[in-house]
Structure 1
Amino acid sequence: MSEPYVYRGATYRDPAALAEWLAGTPPEEALEPQLAIVDPHHHIWENSKRGRYLLHEFLADVNESGHDVRRTVFAECEAMYRADGPEPFRPVGEVEFVRGVAAMSASGQYGPLRVAHRMIGHADLTLGGAVREVLEAEIDAGGGRLSGIRVCAAWDGHHEEIGRYVAHQVPPGHLLNPALHEGAAVLAELGLNFETWVFFHQLPDVIALARAVPQATIIVDHVGGPICVGPYAGRRQELFEVWRGHMRELATCSNVHVKLGGLGMLHFGFDFQLRDVPPPSTELAAAWRPYMETAIEAFGVERAMFESNFPVDKQSCRYGTLWNALKRIAGNASAKEKEALFAGTASRVYRL
């Protein structure tokens, strides 16, 4: 008898095993292939732990999908930091790295898609006013492509059961730190967005931040983090109600936007990765719809945008299957609403 599955982090299969699993079913034909897409959240990396997912790997996923992806936004993932120099400036290395990837894509040699047309970097905003020098270095390194800074603030007291996989480990209440608020104000002054990734029970901290720094444009990743593993497993409907209440209150902050995606990550507890073959988009859409529709209803299409979160969400499905699922969820939307959700809102927020 096999051991019962226990959630141990964001990765279930390594790249080789994942490729073999995904090959178990053919790619789906793209729905509404003429619908333009701006993917506002994906990663590029290479290291011994996560493997290789650089420009060519991402392009292979997009090209296989058949979807009309026009532009993308790179989201920081602690890739290619500088190995030396002052600690606060080491994330500048990631911006330098991604600018090179963007330059490769902008050459046109790889097709019309412009990968990493804009990027989200990282900086320690608890430096307060002193973070300005770091941000100015990143702006310079980005060559006009840096749109904002992401603070991965996801924290939970049950970290051993949920998995300490989040980069930039932070203490509880990180977003309530007055020094971070000061740093966020500097971000806004420099025309940069504040992006964050939190778990659902931390959304009140985002609300407090949004009200403390109303001049900042704030973007919440992954539908507000409705995790359902570890101590939260088996409580989906109960926790959905808690998450929904927080999201509705968060939406009253007009400076906050939300990314609709990330639900392919393992800690959301849908367990598609345990299937013998990858799930079809119909099943993904059915599972994800309550969260997506609730967020769209709360924020409106002008403050909501679909995202891929690849390659993290690749643990659950192909790139094309993911976008098919999102198109199924938006199936009853008007053409204008679809344009906003799939491209328009991201284009405006990230100044594409």
Structure 2
Amino acid sequence: MIASPGGGGNYLAVRPDWLARGVEAALEPELPIIDAHHHLWDRQGWRYLFDEYLADITGSGHNVMASVFMQCQAMYRADGPAAMRVVGETEFVNGIAAMSASGNYGPRQLCAGIVGHADLRLGDDVTPVLEAHIAAAPDRFRGVRHISVWDADRSLMNPLSAGPPGLLRDAEFRAGFARLAPLGLVFDAWLFHPQIPELTELARAFPHTTVVLDHLGGIVGIGAYKDRRDDIFIEWTRAIRELARCENVCVKLGGLGMRINGFGFETRDAPPASEVLAEAWRPYIEACIEAFGAQRCMFESNFPVDKGSYGYGSVWNAFKRLTRHASESDRANLFSGTAARVYGLARPG
């Protein structure tokens, strides 16, 4: 398995020469976009900061007007109370957002929304951590992601973020989770598809907390799940439809270029064209839009994680192809409106 430096075997390698073979012109370059999920980091051998992200956007030709940064253990404080060190990430990203907001790099409002991490297992004691995040970025901090990924097949998990089994049912976790809504914070959920029913239970128990399911629910297609795509699609669809009955839940459409998805895009001689991506993703994207409605779905790049499988321009072209026949209002929600509403951002235009 090809892996990017600094990521162990958990990320596919980003190969600029390979990506250069699949550059596409942007379809509908005027369509306003909020990228609902991306990361920034500086890891050993793998730098993806403001300049790299901005270069992907400008080089793609797509009209990305704003973005939501998602926690990724970047720039934690080196000292101070352990529970508070995570606030360093928000401080770092808020500075990046201020750079973008200056107008010196164009009209985009990158990192206009920030989702950080707090250990919700602290229960009521997580409140000072949440308040510190808000104080660090009062105009931009929007929510928390506490990763709950777990599977009996340990080869699937990133050791940096693997959660214990049953985390979403843990009493202390739920006590911390209860502190989000009073502070107006969203919860982003990253898990594998067999865990979706656990998230449904959590969403039902806290109907006043906005929950965002990342990456269509973590569809796994490798390891113990290899060669089971048809059966998994049936299981996943059933779980997605049940989750969609919780009106406080939204879903991010994207994140299908990860190692765990098993589509094998990275094995091709050249990056897959947007037509190929759209065809591979159509059943999943359409199932989510049908279940949740466009007003509770939002597109995401998941860069730079997905950059090992395709270029930034191609992923947005694929989303545009997939929604070519959707109504104007549905497309506005999918590409910007839902993200703006959920994360409290200014809607483009």
TM-score normalised by length of structure 1: 0.94
Say whether 1:19 aligns with 2:12: no
Say whether 1:122 aligns with 2:122: no
Q: Which amino acid aligns with 1:10?
A: N
- The structure-2 alpha-carbon separation of the partners of 1:36 and 1:166, relative to structure 1 and needing over 3 Å to count, comes to farther
Q: Which amino acid aligns with 2:17?
A: E
Superposed CA deviations along residues 49-106 of structure 1, whole A, max 9, x for unmatched, are 5x10000000000001111111100000000001111111010000000011001111
Q: Which amino acid aligns with 1:206?
A: L
Q: Is the 8 A contact 2:19 2:310 kept in 1?
A: yes
User: Of 45, 49, 60, which aligns to 1:65?
Assistant: 60
The corresponding residue for 1:31 is: 27
Q: Which amino acid aligns with 2:65?
A: R
Q: Is the 8 A contact 2:12 2:309 kept in 1?
A: no
The corresponding residue for 2:294 is: 301
User: Of 221, 233, 239, which aligns to 2:232?
Assistant: 239
Say whether 1:345 aligns with 2:341: no
Q: Which amino acid aligns with 1:188?
A: A
Cα distance in 1 between the residues matched to 2:20 and 2:245: 44
TM-score normalised by length of structure 2: 0.95
Q: What is the deviation of 1:20?
A: 1.5
The corresponding residue for 1:289 is: 282
The corresponding residue for 1:44 is: 40
Q: What does 1:305-320 correspond to in 2, within 5 Å?
A: 305-320=298-313
List runs of 5+ in structure 2 lacking aligned partners: none
The corresponding residue for 1:328 is: 321
- For 1:123, what is the secondary structure of its paired residue? coil
Q: What does 1:185-224 correspond to in 2, within 5 Å?
A: 185-224=178-217
Cα distance in 2 between the residues matched to 1:166 and 1:185: 27
Say whether 1:77 aligns with 2:77: no
- For 2:338, what is the secondary structure of its paired residue? helix
Q: What is the deviation of 1:166?
A: 5.7
Superposed CA deviations along residues 182-208 of structure 1, whole A, max 9, x for unmatched, are 211111100000111010000011011
Cα distance in 2 between the residues matched to 1:84 and 1:157: 34
- For 1:71, what is the secondary structure of its paired residue? strand
Q: Is the 8 A contact 1:228 1:268 kept in 2?
A: yes
- For 2:221, what is the secondary structure of its paired residue? coil
Q: What is the deviation of 1:144?
A: 1.8
Corresponding residue pairs, total: 341
Cα distance in 2 between the residues matched to 1:69 and 1:9: 30
Cα distance in 2 between the residues matched to 1:167 and 1:261: 22
List runs of 5+ in structure 1 lacking aligned partners: none
Cα distance in 1 between the residues matched to 2:278 and 2:298: 16
Say whether 1:175 aligns with 2:175: no
Q: Is the 8 A contact 1:154 1:166 kept in 2?
A: no
Cα distance in 2 between the residues matched to 1:217 and 1:12: 31
The corresponding residue for 1:131 is: 126
- For 2:208, what is the secondary structure of its paired residue? coil
Q: Is the 8 A contact 1:185 1:215 kept in 2?
A: no
Q: Which amino acid aligns with 2:170?
A: N
Q: Which amino acid aligns with 2:33?
A: I
- For 2:329, what is the secondary structure of its paired residue? helix
Q: What is the deviation of 1:213?
A: 1.2
- For 1:308, what is the secondary structure of its paired residue? coil
Cα distance in 2 between the residues matched to 1:247 and 1:39: 22
Q: Is the 8 A contact 1:99 1:143 kept in 2?
A: no
Q: Which amino acid aligns with 1:140?
A: A
Say whether 1:113 aligns with 2:108: yes
User: Of 258, 263, 268, which aligns to 2:261?
Assistant: 268
Cα distance in 2 between the residues matched to 1:169 and 1:272: 25
Percent identity (aligned):
51
What RMSD in Å do the two structures reach over aligned CA positions?
Answer: 1.3
- For 1:23, what is the secondary structure of its paired residue? helix
- For 2:227, what is the secondary structure of its paired residue? coil
Cα distance in 1 between the residues matched to 2:123 and 2:28: 46
Q: Is the 8 A contact 1:125 1:183 kept in 2?
A: yes
